[in-house]
Structure 1
Amino acid sequence: MSTDVEHYAWHAKHLLEQAARGDYTAWSLSGAMEVVANHYRSNSRISEGQRDDLLSAAVRAQLGAITHLPCSYSRDQIAAGMQFLAYQIAVWAEPREMTARRRQHFLVDLDAWARMFRNDMHNISLVEQIEERAAQRREAEIEALRANVGGEPSQLILTI
């Protein structure tokens, strides 16, 4: 049976891989970042192997984000946001003594910057969900019109 920290690391990696494939990229990134943010400062450390796996998955997710996120979202912001995630992953694996030696505000600032990127991903995901529901409503309206007219779209255009 795996430990909680192994499960959290697996879950974050799974979500990053989803983002890399373009499978709900913004939602997946937001979720992965939430998992990492909620656990990287805990007393449970991930192994160096888990860290390396997560960092590799984060690089692939960054490439997926560049490809699949809206063009209106800055590629520089993607790079910065993924760098913050990478820092959190690295801190998750480091010994507590090393974390304790960091400057007082380092982790607080890291959390804030990573959270802003995570919020952006969450907001993009919400917009995508709204747009998906709007498309479903449009399709339902078109289907209702087709049923009332009794024809194909080309016939619908001709009858209007």
Structure 2
Amino acid sequence: MPSENRSAEQVEDLTFNFCRELARASGGDEVAYRVSGALHLLDGSQRLRTTRLQSDQMLRALLSATPAILALFPESTVQRWAVKGIEAAAAQICSLSEAPARRAARPATSAADIRDHARWLRNACHNLALIEQIEERAAQRQSDAIVELKRAALRVAK
């Protein structure tokens, strides 16, 4: 498969998967996990070049997920960082459809700030997803322990 076809396939996969993850997040489905995953896809795709239409689709998905993302961070100070992360992700999406010369003209420090703000949001969402998983396992262990106590009580009562 020629390199151009492989690249076009990668861009289509990125657009589809990024939008799918954020649509699920917008619907309240594992918001932190989905946003972290979408931002991971975006971070790993910065060498690709999308069409403007694909970037617009991704921007709409990010905009649609923004209320769900912000709801993860109720504290105003942390929410300000989340807003910066969302803005940075939007900048990364826009850069995907820019001409290579325009991308190269961006100061390295600006590009680093954009990358790091988006990475902060990705990490914060990932950490929240980990906390959710830990709490789910703890709740399951507690539920299992209660079931076992009930079984033991029934055996003793017989």
Assess if the C-alpha contact under 8 Å between 1:5 and 1:46 holds in 2.
yes
SS of equivalent to 2:74: coil
Normalised TM-score (structure 1): 0.84
2:108 aligns to what SS in structure 1? coil
What is the letter of the counterpart of residue 89 of structure 1?
I
Name stretches of at least 5 consecutive residues in structure 1 with no aligned partner: 151-158
Is residue 22–residue 65 contact of structure 1 (8 Å, CA) maintained in 2? no
How many residue pairs align between the two structures? 149
CA-CA distance at 1:70 after TM superposition: 5.6
Name segments (4+ residues, structure 1) moved above 3 Å.
70-74
Note the C-alpha offset of 1:72.
4.9
Shift of 1:14: 0.9
**Corresponding residue of 1:57:** 61
* Per-residue deviation, 1:33: 0.5
What does residue range 3-18 of structure 1 map to in structure 2 within 5 Å?
A: 3-18=9-24
In 1, the alpha carbon distance for the partners of 2:91 and 2:34 equals: 18
The amino acid across from 1:75 in the alignment is: Q
**CA deviation after TM superposition for structure 1 residue 22, in Å:** 1.3
| Cα RMSD (Å) | 2.1
Query: Which residue identity lines up with residue 64 of structure 1 in the other structure?
Result: A
What TM-score results when the alignment is normalised by the length of structure 2? 0.85
**Local SS of the residue matching 1:46:** coil
Where does residue 135 of structure 1 map in the other structure?
Answer: 139
**Is the 2:32–2:125 contact (alpha carbons within 8 Å) kept by the matching residues of 1?**
yes
Q: Give the AA of the match of 1:71.
A: P
Equivalent-residue separation in structure 1 for 2:80 and 2:114 (angstroms): 17
Question: CA deviation digits over 1:9-35, x for unaligned, max 9?
Answer: 211111111111111111111110011
Map 1:1-150 → 2, pairs under 5 A: 3-40=9-46, 42=47, 44-67=48-71, 69=72, 71-72=74-75, 74-150=78-154
Contact persistence 1:62–1:78 (CA under 8 A): no
How far apart, in 2, do the equivalents of 1:113 and 1:65 lie? 14
More helix by share: 2
Q: 1:149 corresponds to which letter in structure 2?
A: A
Write the distance in 2 (CA, Å) between the matches of 1:51 and 1:110: 17
